[in-house]
Amino acid sequence: MTKKIHLGWFTEYGPIGWDAQDATEGDWRGPDMYQEMARICERGMFDFALFADHLGITSSFGDSIDNYIKHGLNGINHDATLLCSMVAAATNHLGVGTTVSTMLTPPYLQARQTASLDHLTKGRVAWNVVTTGNIAGFLNFGVEQPEHDARYDIADEYLELCFKLWGSWAPDAVQMDRAGGVFADPDKVKPIHHEGRYFKSRGPLNVVSSPQGRPTIIQAGSSERGKTFAARWADAVIVGAHYLDDMKAYYEEMKQRVADQGRDPAQFKVFFIVKPVLGQTEADVQRKLAALEDPPESAIFTALAALSSRMNYDLSQFNLDEPLPQIDERQIKGGQTTLSRFYTAGRKPTLREVAKQEAAGNKGGITGTPEQVADQMQHIMETVGGDGFVIRVNVHERAYMQEFVDTVVPLLQQRGLMRTVYNGTTLRDNLMEY
Q: Which of 256, 213, 261, 216 is nearest to 238 (CA)?
A: 216
To 10 degrees, what angle do helices 370-384 and 244-260 make? 40
Helices 297-311 and 351-360: crossing angle in degrees, nearest 10, is 90
- Cα 122 to Cα 85, 119, 225, 297, distances in angstroms: 11, 5, 33, 45
Q: Give, to the nearest 10 degrees, the angle between helix 224-233 and helix 244-260.
A: 50
Q: Which residues pair with 388 in a beta bridge?
A: 6, 271
- Say whether 148 counts as a known binding-site residue: yes
Known binding residue 222? Answer is: yes
Q: How far is Cα 234 from Cα 7, in angstroms, rounded to an integer? A: 17
269 - beta bridge partners?
236
Which residue type does 218 have?
Answer: I
Q: Is 308 annotated as a binding residue?
A: no
Residue 85 annotated in ligand binding: no
Where is the binding site for FMN, in residues?
53, 99, 148, 152, 222-223
Residues flagged as binding site: 53, 99, 148, 152, 222-223
